[in-house]
Amino acid sequence: MRRRHSKNTLLFLIVIAVVALLGWYLIYALEGPIRASLLRLEAGNIASVDNLLRILRLVLLAILAYVSVRALNFLIFGLFRLRRGFDAPTLIQNVFSIVAFTLLFFLIFSFIFPEANLGALFTTSAIFGVILGLALQDTLGNFFAGISLQADRPFQVGDVVSVGDQKHTGVIEEISWRAIKIRTFQNHVVLINNSTAAKEPIEVCPRDNLNARLVFFNTLYTDSPAKTIHIVREAVREADNVSQKIAPIVRIRNLGDNSVDYELKYWLDDYAKYNDTDALVRQRIWYAFKRNGLTFAFPTRTLHIERQGRHPRERDGGAVVERLSAVDIFAPLSPEETAMLAGAAVRHVFAPGEIVIRAGEPGSSMFVVHHGRVSVQISDNGRPRTVATLKEGDFFGEMALFTGEPRTANVVAVEETEVLEIGHGAMKKVFDTNPDLVESLSFIMSERRAGLASQFDSGPSSEIESAGILSAIKRFFGIS
């Protein structure tokens, strides 16, 4: 469409240039006969015939000047489009044409009428200018506001803008000497006067900028934040038009009455398509929720009925018993003893990065990793160094529990982690009926101690330690 329009314009310019050149040639070649016939018409007035011929020349040269300015305009701004990939503002193109044509016209005028007093012409035109200026106050206001907007270059054709209190939002299609033309996302055209635009606040989302969007969603309080954040981020990161340059961010924005409220911040390759991309992102979130058992929240009232005689710990007791019976040090325990231990265990959930136990603090319980992973960390010149990573079924915290000494290391959740905490009392019961357990525990503990000591290039051998720990546990738990 645009190309056809350019072709027609070019053809039109060529035709009028050819006509003007032909006219110029005819006047030049046939000056004698034309003069003679004009003289006859003007009853022998040579001066007026001369003026007539000069005006004719002025008109023809002005046409040629017009064609040249248009051709120059075409060339310069065509090159601009080729290099930058978008059109220069119409306003700039128009100002260029007006200035170039006015200059050329005055040059031609003083060439054809060298005796004319341009100063007087300017004085007269200044008076006319004042009258015209008053009449065209609004139009000129728009014109100069347009020029100042262009000088600042706050936006360009193709940028998404939102103008004024009424929030006219859309893509800039044209910036002319009178107005900014915006195509809204409903495919309407909004024209905003330059002088109005110069006064209004304008939010600009430049085309070659990584612009971000926020999409809101919520979950039930029972859904884990770490899981939700991970799942949503993964679900949207490869959606169409979501920029690969910056990973989306998911964060909790509020702990609401009925829901945990989140916001997803993502960046777009093409901001002008944000409505479609927002919709696609919401769709991805819905499917990810469905696949992973997450639930959107709506105003709810949850009724908790606690059955008499049934401890909350017992509700999911089966899984805890199963977990504890798979822990190697508890293998010698009878099913009843394992069930007793499971009944005494308290469940805790930790977010990724949270410290479960802190080095140097006293401790009177040990832990079994039920779900997730933890890392055992020591401080190396003030920086954390991981000495071991423990997975589901592994245990930790036994050293302080069995010896009464402070915790030897930090234990930090690597991902969302659920641990089972077993206290001193429950372990004492187990030791009373299973004295052999002390021995196998002391061996594991001495190995762990050796692991810690090797990090600092010192420490006794595992066997010596094992004997020392064995008697320390026995003393601490009063086992003979």
Residues making contact with ligand CMP (CB under 6 A): 357, 363, 376, 387-388, 396-400, 407-409, 411, 448, 451-452
CB of 377 to ligand CMP, least distance (A): 9
Tokens of 243: 């920029």
C-alpha–C-alpha distance, residues 144 and 153, integer Å:
14
C-alpha–C-alpha distance, residues 324 and 392, integer Å:
10
Name the 3-class secondary structure at 346: strand
Which is closer to ligand CMP, CB of 190 or CB of 387?
387
Which is closer to ligand CMP, CB of 276 or CB of 447?
447
Neighbour count for residue 81 (Cβ, 10 Å): 11
Q: Is 353 left (phi over 0), alpha (psi -120 to 50) or beta?
A: left
Which is closer to ligand CMP, CB of 149 or CB of 357?
357
Name every residue whose Cβ is closer than 8 Å to that of residue 130 and which is 6 or more positions away in sequence: none
Tokens of 239: 């959606």
CB of 414 to ligand CMP, least distance (A): 14
Beta bridge partners of 414: none
Which is closer to ligand CMP, CB of 219 or CB of 410?
410
Which is closer to ligand CMP, CB of 264 or CB of 374?
374
CB of 423 to ligand CMP, least distance (A): 13
H or E element that contains 341: helix 335-344
Which is closer to ligand CMP, CB of 339 or CB of 414?
414
Query: Which is nearest to 367 in space by CA: 340, 386, 394?
Result: 394
Query: Which is nearest to 408 in space by CA: 462, 445, 370?
Result: 445
Q: Residues 159, 162, 164, 166: is their CA dihedral positive or negative?
A: positive
Name the 3-class secondary structure at 477: helix
Which is closer to ligand CMP, CB of 61 or CB of 376?
376
CA distances from 471 to 270, 408, 423 (A): 70, 19, 20
CB of 335 to ligand CMP, least distance (A): 26
C-alpha–C-alpha distance, residues 90 and 75, integer Å:
15
Which is closer to ligand CMP, CB of 363 or CB of 372?
363
The C-alpha R_g of the chain, in whole angstroms, comes to 43
Which is closer to ligand CMP, CB of 236 or CB of 409?
409
Q: Where are the alpha helices (DSSP H) in 153-238?
A: 194-199, 225-236
CB of 389 to ligand CMP, least distance (A): 9
Nearest residue relative to ligand CMP (C-beta): 451
CB of 345 to ligand CMP, least distance (A): 16
CB of 392 to ligand CMP, least distance (A): 15
C-alpha–C-alpha distance, residues 15 and 70, integer Å:
13
Beta bridge partners of 250: 264
CB of 456 to ligand CMP, least distance (A): 12
CB of 400 to ligand CMP, least distance (A): 3
